[in-house]
Copies of this chain bind each other. A is one copy, B any other.
Amino acid sequence: MIRSDGRRPDELREVKITLDYIKHAEGSCLIEFGDTRVICTASVEEKVPPFLKGSGQGWITAEYSMIPRATVQRTVRESAKGRLTGRTQEIQRLIGRSLRSSVDLLALGEITIWIDCDVIQADGGTRTASITGAFVALYRALQKIDKLSAVKNFVAAVSVGIVDGEYLLDLNYEEDSIAEVDMNIVMNDRGEFIEIQGTAEGKPFSRNDLDRLLALGEAGIKQLFEKQKKVLGVEE
């Protein structure tokens, strides 16, 4: 089976990471999963949220947004609506949890790392591209403030799904919008799971479907770790 963009079912889109994309940020990159493009920045703040004051522990928090015309139809700005959609909040929480799992917060000390993922063009997989790029920005920021020792492992994410009964890796928007099952997988580079979110969009899925999707995702994420390490100059 050949996908509409010519890929094999188990093939990632072309992944590009442009390091240090934003000059003001301690860490930043532009990450591209095919036509999906996300600016990821990591900003260091010398204080922690109230619930951590005096704990000696740091914090990592994430925000996610899309520019209005990142999408096929222009979407209304959340700043104009005056509140975040549920979708945005879900994604922000997912990115934050995923990154926190990769860092020893005590080793950070009492600082906050603000992760910002701003989607400038969307073609499916914005949340997985965001996690994968945000880790790069985070790593870069920790390098700059000399806290790389706090990094426990790399983190990357990919989507998998079932479309017309086929198991597909890294769905683009067209595939995503007709998928029967949609799953986001976040892993670390020790082969462990950080987060699994699988949703039956149209049709429930069996245990066998789940196994097939997990295998596909694991293989894809391995390639993302290679990309991250290469751009950051980390030897595997």
Contact = CB atoms under 8 A, between A and B. Distances in A.
Given A22-B121, A77-B63, A114 B68 contact: yes
Interface of A: 22-25, 28, 35, 39, 41, 43, 45, 63, 65, 67-72, 74, 77-90, 92-93, 97, 101, 114, 116, 118, 120-121, 187-188, 190-200, 204-207, 210, 214
Count of chain copies: 6
Contacts of A72: 24
Contacts of A90: 86, 89-90, 93
A83 B83 CA distance: 8
A39 B67 contact: yes
Contacts of A82: 82-83
A13 to B, nearest CB: 14
A90 B67 CA distance: 20
Main secondary structure of the interface of A (DSSP, over half): mixed
Contacts of A28: 69
Nearest to A218: B207
Given A79-B77, A92-B86, A204-B190, A121 B69 contact: no
A197 B186 CA distance: 12
Contacts of A187: 204
Contact of A114 (B74, B87, B207): B74
10 contacts: A22-B69, A24-B72, A39-B67, A63-B80, A84-B86, A86-B89, A87-B93, A192-B204, A194-B204, A195-B198
